[in-house]
A and B are shown apart, each in its own frame.
Chain A
Amino acid sequence: MFGLKRGSAADLLVLLAVWAGLLLLFGQLSAGFLSPATLGSVANRIPALLLVATGMTLLMVTGGIDLSVGSLVGFCGTVVGVVMVDWGWTLPAAVACSIAVGLLLGSVSGLVSVKLRLPSFIVTLGMLEVARGLAFLAAHSRTKYIGDTIESLGTPIAGLVVSPAFLCALLAVALGQALLSYTVLGRQLVAVGANIEAARISGIAVDRPRIAAHALLGALTGVAAVFNCSRLGSADPNAGVGFELSVIAAVVVGGTSLLGGRGSVAKSFLGVLIVATLEAGLVQAGASEPLKRVVTGVVIVVAVLADTWRRRD
């Protein structure tokens, strides 16, 4: 037990070192990278990613995965747009609707995959298409402009470089890690992911934590959709295309296993920071779009490779 914790702390330090290394590297490559403006722009860009990465970590610990989060960001965002623009409801009501829709669709994915014993990969691949289609139907394939009411969530607080959305995402990371480390549900998530038969034999109702992880991720995605809308000031049915891949990349860079049984929300947080810093740094260093993709792809694989080697030794 002690050994595991020590290894875990070492992993955190390694990830921190990688992040610091990236900051220094890009500080060298482009003058003005290490400025509050850049760091603020990174912080204010990642709230949606952080929220969904937190939920995704909890789900991947159980051995599940959700490919529909990008489409859910698009659909829940569209719900926010319809509720606020077409119906004229307030922001809190829109947030509640977005969370409810996310929770509902996440639960559907969870129930279908767990109760009908289908791989979550397949079920959520279906949900990816369903939710994107619903987004276009609900929005009539048009972007809805929402404006100031929602933008304030994503705008830096006066005197601080970070936005309310970022602070909220930090809170979610802290709560997610606490849930994983200190609650019964958290232990069950790990137990189910590590060895589902052993978990069943030891008396855990194995379906419940798995469905709960899907549902929680859905709800967090609903919140993420609101923050995404706040960045755009609009609800766009195209929002979040490919988002699931950024989330999964950040989570695996943070060392969470695709096979379940192992993961840490705090490390996913660092994974998000690393991926976001890499992207911002490559833009500022003047790397072309194709080059950015090559470098990002290589870094993801190398990070996971390094993690695997460490574990094997």
Chain B
Amino acid sequence: MELKDYKNVFVFAEQREGNIQSVAYELLGKARDLADTLGEKVVAMLLGCGIKDQAQKLIEFGADEVIVADCPELKDYLSEQYTQVVDQIIKERCPNIVLYGATTIGRDMAPRIASRLKTGLTADCTKLEVVSDEKSNGEPQFRQTRPAFGGNLMATIICPNTRPQMSTVRPGVMQKRQREEGRQGIVTNFVPKFDTSKFKVKLVETIKEDKAMVDIADAKILVSGGRGVQNKEGFDKLQALADVLGGQVSSSRAMVDNGVMPHERQVGQTGKTVRPNLYMACGISGAIQHLAGMEESDFIIAINKDKFAPIFSAADLGIVGDLHKIVPMLTERLKKEIEK
């Protein structure tokens, strides 16, 4: 079989407890772009138990076909069971590209499959594109861009000689398409053939995480408050915003010293150094000790009444204004955005 005979863009549609994860729709959005450029189809793989009914939703988010493997063995994610099924589907259907979510499921299974198929896999891609240019001799080439060296460098990876070409993508990186209700597509039932002698791992129980203990250094989104927040009630407003964004609340030293916030939430010289994807500094003037702890954040938004506050020199977006008004309004607005 030649490379050009491998066709279509496949997406592993991750579900947990029967709920299709947002990352699956995001991948479908990107898969749609890639497939359209290549003139190929988007195929979703949906594995689970009692999930057949949800195939239509994947079609409405961009899949042309959904391959459903619905059986008790696939109720919970287990490496070997899922690998066997995805491997069988890929071997039967010979896709050109396969995308997985870079989650604890996708990052567990995709390398296992890559190794079984002896093909390439690129982790945590932030950009995926199909390009035909002089560097690819005019042929469409799948280029996968990802960060390396702790995000200090970006690398574009290609997989020229083996198929399928596979990538994982973190949740939140790609954009979902607008849902197209009533969109038509094919749902194909797949009956896996399990080699049960390989099932050596048994699920004893699943413990729902209590995320009460948080380390702000691990948080991807931080809503941080300083002297301008004033008191506990002020921080409640920040907490509401953090909840909507799925982030955590942190604090400047001033609000720790006066006992409003605990020390483990403190950012800066005598607190923690953080580098989240989003750092929202609310009512923080931006003393050097504070900046030292957060200036490496990917994106910094500052809200402060004082337009000369040094925090604005570190911010990507600065808003001169009253956080006590802006933060609640923003929270309400974001609630509506996210419901959409």
Answer yes or no: do A and B interact: no
